[in-house]
Structure 1
Amino acid sequence: MKKVIIGGLCASLLTGLTACNNKEAEVAAPEPTATAQAVTEALGSGIDFANFDKSVRPQDDFYSYVNGTWLKNAKIPSDRTSTGSFYDLREQARDDVKAIIEDVAATPNLTAGSDEQKVADLYRSFMDVDTLNKLGVKPIQAELDKVAALKSKDELASYFAHSQVIGGGTPLAFYINVDAKDSSRYATHIWQYGLSLPEKDYYFNDSERFVNIRQAFVEHIEKMFTLAGLANPKASAEQVLALETAIAERHWDVVETRDSSKTYNKYQTSDLVKLAPDFNWAGYLSTLGADKQSDIIINQPSFIEGFNEVLKANDLAVWQTYMQWQLLTHFAGNMSEALDQENFAFFSKTLNGQEEQQPRWKRGVSTVSSVLGEVVGKVYVKRHFAPEAKERMQVLVENLRKAYGESIDNLEWMSADTKVAAKDKLAKFDPKIGYPDKWENYDKLTIRADDLLGNSIRASELSHEKELEKLGGPIRKWEWHMTPQTVNAYYNPTMNEIVFPAAILQPPFFNMKADDAVNYGGIGAVIGHEMGHGFDDQGAKFDGEGNMRDWWTEQDLKEFAARGKALVEQYNNYAVFDDLHVNGELTLGENIGDLSGVTIAYKAYKMSLNGQPAPVIDGLTGDERFFIGFTQIWRAKIKEESMRNRVATDPHSPAHFRAVGALSNMPEFYSTYDVKEGDAMYIAPEKRVKIW
């Protein structure tokens, strides 16, 4: 199922993050069971030497030196667009969750309404292809009928809201999150939305690749309308592209949308009519259940103004065709094989180069994790996360915090006043490790084994209801935006929290049996990366309480911006393909996170030695093992089509440049590997970027 993805809420280690909708129930921390997974044994240092390519000089390309043989030999499975450290761990986590689901489903006489019944029947509803094929488009026919029955654009506005509540598409994305300038309250927000293609440039770029994508998009829409038995499929497809192009023209680009200052625009709800006088705000907000709020944050005001123009310029019938498309494209994965496979053919195969669709069981497991994530998460933690891992992570986090504090103290470019504010924020970081202290409650959710689309809609409706419950209430500090079985991590600026789910705390990121140097280079850099987001170009706008305010002196802010500009220029020069470079502005926050992360992790590692020399293990010094440990976590191979989409939309640099970009700025890397002028990774000392 597709979900509305909201930018700018939290900074994650690997991919963008949508704030989830949780309601919590008090539970005790899970205890390990007799079936708990044994921690992976490491050989010697925890480094896999078989991956190295010794034909590459480490001074020229450390990433290929550490990962080159793996890159040559690795095969991307036909049902995926990538393979590597993150992606393979995600596959393992999915296998682990599958085992949990199968154990639950094999249990006889599950109590109706229990969490176990919901897990088993949600999975069954996804796997029951025969029923889905018999139903065809019938599960959304009632919604298609509602769209066809719309009599005015005022009714259309209300239907936009209804569509989002049930999990469908809409030009506007409504969400609830902590108010960035008053972290004691939740606020309502609206974000630009409504496009099917990855980013606005896909609608306007005249190069052959994009022209072909747009043509394939129109053909895909026509096929979907034909499969659904809707009238005039070819003309409808052309209408959808034209309308989405008009919407895209008003969208902010990906660089603008990551600017937390520009996207904070608080309006009185009574003043929304000034932005979009032809839009039925009363009906829209009432249908959402948010009509009692006196204010709302509009993330892209000029988009709302432009949207009003598009609304006026297009007849109701055009909008009805567009909303029919939104229903089809958002719910296709939960309907017949024909609709599902056509949806895959365009969005996964054409856009991202994925050769085959994932086996249905994989997608079923992902659906259960999406809808009932913390139900299976509780069992996942019991089976796969040892208490000792959490204890060791807590030690690592505090060591990184201490190292970060010392680094701030020693910054030559920062004034004493700003250092005090920075250290106050650092002291208030809230680390969350492994799993939540309170778990989501799913009591109100009805799951039926013969109603996949209904399950999806009811889950979306309940999620929306839970979000509305936040308004006017206390901030839910205990809430997580990732499940324990997620291989990722994130920083949330309005909570000033760094979060590390259980599933990422495995090799090569974190190995209980590995050498400290490798762990500091791996999970230590991940911890430092998330801390670094608190001090990247956007996170640095927030104080220790999670409020967006200016805590910098004017001169310090200029110095900080100058360092960011230098990092932008460095990454702009990295060529992903001959015709495509990294977008240094889009990736600036993540690049600061990577550079800060490895810098502070190295400092923490050296502090952990307590003045003693590091042992030589497997013929490597501690510093060598640290840098190898860091570089092997970024091991990745990605399909070209998928990589091109990521470069256009993803605020993370490609893995290769996440490794070499950060290390090229570290003097300690130069001394460890004797990097000199003329080496490919060499940057002149005066041009190396040091921020934290």
Structure 2
Amino acid sequence: MKNALRLTTLALLMQLGGLAMAAQPQSGLELKSFDKSVRPQDDLFRAANGHWLDTTEIPSDKASYGAFVQLRDLSDKRARGIIEELAKKKGKAGSVEQKIGDYYASYMNTAAIDKAGLAPVQPLLDSIAAIQTRQQLAAWMGKQMGVVNTPVPLGIEADFKEPTINRLLTWQGGIGLPDRDYYLKKDDERLSKARDAYKTYVQTLAKAAGLKDPAAVADRVLAFEHSLAEVQWDKVENRDPVKLYNPMTPAELAQKAPGFDWAAFFEAASLPGLDKLSASQPSYLTGAAKLLNEVPLDDIKTYLTIRVLDGAADTLPKAYRDAHFAFHGTALTGAKSEKPRWQQAVENVNGALGEAVGEVYVTRYFPAADKARMLELVNNLLASYKESIDKLSWMTPATKAQAQDKLSKYMVKIGYPDVWRDYSKLEVRPGDPVGNSLRAANFEWQRQAAKASKPVDRREWLMTPQTVNAYYNPTLNEIVFPAAILQPPFYNTKADDATNYGAIGAVIGHEISHGFDDQGSQFDGNGALRNWWTDEDRKAFEAIGAKLVAQYEGYEPIPGKHLNGKLTLGENIADLSGLQIAFKAYQRSLGGKPAPVIDGFTGEQRFFMGWSQAWREKAREERRLQLLTVDPHSPPEFRANGAAINHDGFHEAFKTKPGDKMFKASEDRIRIW
């Protein structure tokens, strides 16, 4: 389940580097990627990346390609080496080595998977066929929590207003397409094409499984999912923490959403005696409960059968795997071929035993010096943020004091957790890829369910060390940087400070800024959902945000498709604020001395060129459409240019003037933090 407020990630990581200068100064910029026919004053993104964009082909197994994907591939190769090495040790039964090795080997053995047919998943399919009553349906959904994508996913989060206590929350789900818009926007030709591909996919699964009348199966499944989509909230609504926070007892939920046996559902989900929960989208629960009570039971069972086949397809025979890729890969993202099987296997092992792999990963690829350098950078950016808050012209002293209090309470996590996850109760069997996947999903859900209504463990991480990403978590008021964001080719101790501050500095500033974007700013320094603003200051902040919404809604990544400025507002605030703070930190690091000119660029120019090259990426149109529909991040070229165009430092560095395509008058520039 993806909770929009659980954490805010930087989906495309920037170029990283240390602060140490090499003996022979190097900018760290990839000069061969530049398009010298384009001026930064007209298109910063194209100027820094144009030649690369013109000459680079997206690999056939990729939906997009760029710095982030390259770094992720490197992380996967390193994880593969660790996994295969552990597998060779032939660990004793129950050991981590045995579990990792058998999980990986069974996933890789496609010949055995093809021979097994549907037998490994048949018990789960039989359990669906055995459902005779609505109560049994509710119990089945609860028992398969975290294993099967059903209409009522559950999660465990810190309570928005009691952030020291974990709280069960509900979420909307159960659809096979990426978002409700794929079902509801009938006049959108691109979305209709994806919907048709999904219908074909469901038919293929039904035919392969021997279901009667595959065409009718697809019609019934899509009709049910369309009904679910009709009662789901849209992506913008799901960004409002106040609307999402609806604490209630299970009895109150049963009153608000009648027609579904919530007691049987929660008990089967290992949540007996639940005292309290938060209903994230209460109107959806009312609508979903009604559907689960009124739609013919056979239709729901057919739908659940397809959900099981879809979820297990990568560990089922070739016909299922091919159909899964034709839809999830080609139709939705434009990829031409599947990722190598080993890479799929690594992703699955990371999903099941990620911290066990990560514990070895950090000993090999994350030296103590990297952690110390990262901490130095983070502290430098936090200090710059503190100074920036003091100088805000639009915020009154009372709110500034609250903002400073929140900033002072930031928790910083770098590299890896202090306490590693215990996988002793996870059973992994040799030659059982379907069972291993199902048991791993159930193991993780049981781990989560055990936390309900219990104190929050602030030591826990939401990403593995080998994950190429970073996040801010509002209820813990923490910024988290896994080890994998500090590795070659992005981590370069020889790179110039200016380039590094434009890259890693902006990464750090971005995550810090999420605590002060339109969502994060509604939580206080203790992680509680609380209005710590004066009314006057909040209105001023929202007025600035409205200008940013308007700016980004003017961008058109695909002909006829504009950005959703409200959906991307939080990330756009973080990009703009992070870039502003990183630039201030860079200037501060110079100690009043001018930066040298390197590769023909001043320090300030290198800062912005480094920022731009960090966003270097190409994506297929299908993938761009998918992200425009569901992703709160703007496409990379608009992140690079959209933040820079509002930055005084950019205009000063490149001496922009009226007539330049990226010129923006000083009085029109959007300045937030």
TM-score range, shorter chain: over 0.9
Within-5 A mapping of 1:585-600: 585-600=566-581
> What per-residue deviation string (whole Å, max 9, x for no partner) do you get for residues 202-232 of structure 1?
1122233233322222121111011112222
TM-score (norm 1): 0.94
Partner of 2:486: 505
Q: Taking structure 1 as reference, are residues 508 and 596 closer, same or farther at Cα in structure 2, changes over 3 Å only?
A: farther
Q: Residues 689, 123 of structure 1: CA spacing in aligned structure 2 closer, same or farther, 3 A cutoff?
A: same
Q: Deviations over 1:602-655 (max 9, x none)?
A: 001111111222222223211111111111111000111101110111000000
Q: CA deviation at 1:502?
A: 1.0
* Structure 1 residue 523, shift from structure 2 partner: 0.6
Give the C-alpha shift of residue 472 in structure 1: 4.0
- Is 1:552 equivalent to 2:549 in the alignment? no
- TM-superposed CA distance for 1:566, in Å, is 0.3
Instruction: Give 5+ residue unaligned stretches, structure 1.
Output: 17-38
Question: Where does 1:108-507 land on structure 2 (aligned, <5 Å)?
Answer: 109-165=90-146, 167-205=147-185, 206-506=187-487
- Listed as ranges, the matches of 1:85-100 within 5 Å are 85-100=67-82
Q: C-alpha displacement at 1:312, in angstroms?
A: 3.4
Q: Could you report, residue by residue, the CA deviation over 1:572-600 in whole angstroms, capped at 9, with x for unpaired residues?
A: 00110221111111000000010011100
Give the residue type in structure 1 aligned to 2:207.
Answer: T
Task: Answer with 470-479 or 595-604: which moved more.
Answer: 470-479
CA distance in 2, matches of 1:687, 1:153: 59
Structure 2 Cα separation of the partners of residues 61 and 489 of structure 1 = 27
Deviations 1:214-268 (A, max 9, x none): 2222121111011112222221111000000011000101111111111111112
Residue 9 of structure 1: which of 6, 13, 33 is its match? 6
Aligned residue in 2 for 1:539: 520
Equivalents in 2 of 1:102, 1:296: separation in Å?
Answer: 42
Partner residue, 2:18 = none
**Whole-Å Cα distance in 2 between the matches of residues 42 and 120 of structure 1?**
45
- Hey, what does 1:53 align to over in structure 2? 35
After TM superposition, give the deviation of residue 513 of structure 1 in Å.
2.2
Distance in 1 (CA, whole Å) between partners of 2:630 and 2:139 is 30
Contact 1:509 1:519 in 2 (8 A): no
Which amino acid counterpart does residue 74 of structure 1 have in structure 2?
A: T
1:181–1:548 Cα contact (<8 Å) kept: yes
Worse-superposed segment, 668-677 or 557-566: 668-677
String of CA shifts for 1:301-325, please: whole Å, max 9, x gaps: 1111111332233111111111111
Q: CA deviation at 1:15?
A: 7.1
Distance 1:663 1:15 in 2: 17
Classify the secondary structure of the residue corresponding to 1:164: coil
* TM-aligned CA deviation for residue 506 of structure 1: 3.1
SS of the equivalent of 1:278 reads coil
Measure, in 2, the Cα distance between the counterparts of 1:236 and 1:650. Answer: 30
Q: SS state of the match for residue 557, structure 2? A: strand
Match in the other structure for 2:16: none
CA–CA distance in structure 2, aligned partners of residues 482 and 568 of structure 1: 30
State the match for 1:630 in structure 2: 611
SS in 2 for 1:177: strand
- Label 1:114 to 1:41 Cα distance change in 2 as closer, same or farther (>3 A): farther
How far 1:509 moved relative to its partner? Answer: 4.8
SS in structure 2 of the partner of residue 70 of structure 1: helix
- Residue deviations 1:74-114 (CA, integer Å, cap 9, x gap): 1111011111111110011111111111222223x422111
CA distance 1:509–1:603, shift in 2 (3 Å): farther
Gap regions ≥5 residues in structure 2: 14-20
* Aligned residues with identical type, % of pairs: 45
Cα displacement (A) at 1:491: 0.3
Give the partner amino acid of 2:518.
D
**Residue by residue, what CA displacement relative to the aligned partner does 1:164-216 show, whole Å, maximum 9, x if unpaired?**
24x11200111111001111101010001011111111112223323332222
Distance in 2, matches of 1:117 and 1:311, equals 41
Displacement of 1:508 after TM fit?
A: 6.1
Match of 1:76 among 58, 63, 71: 58
Contact persistence 2:22–2:495 (CA under 8 A): no
What per-residue deviation string (whole Å, max 9, x for no partner) do you get for residues 483-532 of structure 1? 11111100000011101111111356542221111111111100000000
Q: What letter is aligned with 2:519?
A: Q
Q: Which moved more, 1:418-427 or 1:610-619?
A: 610-619
Change (3 A) 1:42 1:610: closer
Distance (whole Å) between structure 2 residues aligned to residue 97 and residue 179 of structure 1:
34
- Aligned to 2:57, the other structure's residue is in SS state coil
- In structure 1, distance between residues paired with 2:409 and 2:251: 37
Say whether 1:65 aligns with 2:47.
Answer: yes
Q: What is the letter of the counterpart of residue 336 of structure 1?
A: P
Q: Tell me the amino acid that sits aligned with residue 667 of structure 1.
A: D
Matched AA of 2:28: G
Helix, strand or coil at the partner of 2:165: strand
Q: How many residues align?
A: 665
Q: Residues 217 and 240 of structure 1: is their aligned pair in 2 closer, same or farther, counting only changes over 3 Å? A: same
Q: Which amino acid aligns with 1:595?
A: L
Contact 1:42–1:514 (Cα < 8 Å) also in 2: no
| Aligned position for 1:36 | none
Match of 1:21 in 2: none
Tell me, in whole angstroms, the C-alpha distance in 1 between the residues paired with 2:491 and 2:522. Answer: 31
Provide the rounded CA distance (Å) in 2 between the counterparts of 1:101 and 1:472.
36
- Aligned position for 1:529: 510
Deviation of 1:57 (Å) = 1.3
